[in-house]
């Protein structure tokens, strides 16, 4: 699979990483090289093989419905770049 500049620009937008136009060409080449190498997986016939998400063989543990957390606003906001009046803030969003 060879990625073009437009595709790289699109995935960079999806990933919210600003990539200067001047870097797109180089990046497209690099990513294409990696994907080309990855595509050797196509050699393997995986028909009927179950996909594996994780290796742990047990039931999903469940917690009791008890309030054990919260009321730690100072901790929650302690590292925030621009907190205000108990809120996180971001540049204004127009909906």
Partner 1 sequence: MTETNGSIIEGRTGPWEIVLGLEVHAQVVSNAKLFSGAATEFGAEPNTQVSLVDAAMPGMLPVINDVCVEQAVKTGLGLKAQINKRSVFDRKNYFYADLPAGYQISQYLQPIVGEGTIILDLPDGRTREVGITRLHLEQDAGKSLHDQHPTKTYVDLNRCGVALMEIVSEPDMRSAEEAAAYLRKLRSILRYLGTCDGNMEQGSLRCDVNVSVRRPGEPYGTRCEIKNVNSIRFVSQAIEYEARRQVELLEEGGTVVQETRLFDSGRGVTRSMRSKEHAHDYRYFPDPDLLPLEFDDAYIERIRATMPELPDAKKARFIADYGLSAYDAGVLVAEQETAAYYEALVEGEGGKTRDPKMAANWVIGELFGALNRAGRTIQDSPVSSAELGGLLDLIADDTISGRIAKDVFADMVETGKPAGEIVEAKGLRQVTDSGAIDSMIDEVLSRNADKVAEYKAGKDKLFGFFVGQVMKATGGKANPKLLNERLREKLQ
Partner 2 sequence: MAALTDLTMAAALDALSKGEFSARELTEAHIAAVEAARPLNAFITETPDRALAMAEASDTRRRNGEASPMEGLPIAIKDLFCTEGVLTTAGSHILDGFTPPYESTVTTNLWRAGAVMLGKVNMDEFAMGSSNMTSYYGKVENPWRRKGNNRPLVPGGSSGGSATAVAARVALGATGTDTGGSIRQPAAFCGIVGLKPTYGRCSRWGIVAFASSLDQAGPMTRTVRDAAIMLGAMAGHDPKDSTSVNRPVPDYKAALTGDIRGLKVGIPTEYRVDGMPAEIERLWAQGIEWLKAAGAEPVEISLPHTKYALPTYYIIAPAEASSNLARYDGVRFGLREPGDSLDAMYEATRAAGFGTEVKRRVLIGTYVLSAGYYDAYYLKAQRLRSLIARDFTQAFEDVDVILTPSTPNTAFAAGEKMDDPVAMYLNDVFTVPVNLAGLPGISVPAGLSEDGLPLGLQLIGRAFDEETVLKVGEVLETAANFTARPGHQSA
For partner 1, the binding residues (CB under 8 A) are 10, 13-14, 16, 53-54, 56, 58-73, 75-77, 82, 84-95
- Three-state SS for 27? helix
Smallest gap from residue 33 Cβ to partner 2 (A): 6
Report the C-alpha gap between 10 and 17 in whole angstroms.
10
Report the C-alpha gap between 35 and 24 in whole angstroms.
16
Smallest gap from residue 56 Cβ to partner 1 (A): 6
DSSP 6-26: HHHHHHHHHTT----HHHHHH
Site residues (CB under 8 A) for partner 2?
3, 7-8, 11-19, 27, 30-31, 33-35, 37-42, 44, 46, 49-56, 58, 60-61, 63, 72, 75-76, 78-82, 88, 90-91, 93
């Amino acid at each position: 699979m060879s990625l073009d500049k437009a595709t790289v620009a699109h995935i960079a937008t999806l990933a919210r990483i600003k990539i200067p136009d001047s870097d797109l060409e180089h990046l497209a080449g690099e990513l294409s090289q990696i994907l080309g190498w990855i595509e050797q997986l196509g050699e393997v016939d995986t028909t009927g093989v179950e996909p594996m998400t994780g290796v742990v063989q047990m039931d999903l543990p469940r917690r009791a419905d008890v309030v054990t957390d919260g009321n730690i606003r100072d901790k929650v906001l302690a590292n925030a770049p621009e907190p205000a009046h108990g809120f996180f803030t971001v540049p204004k969003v127009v909906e």
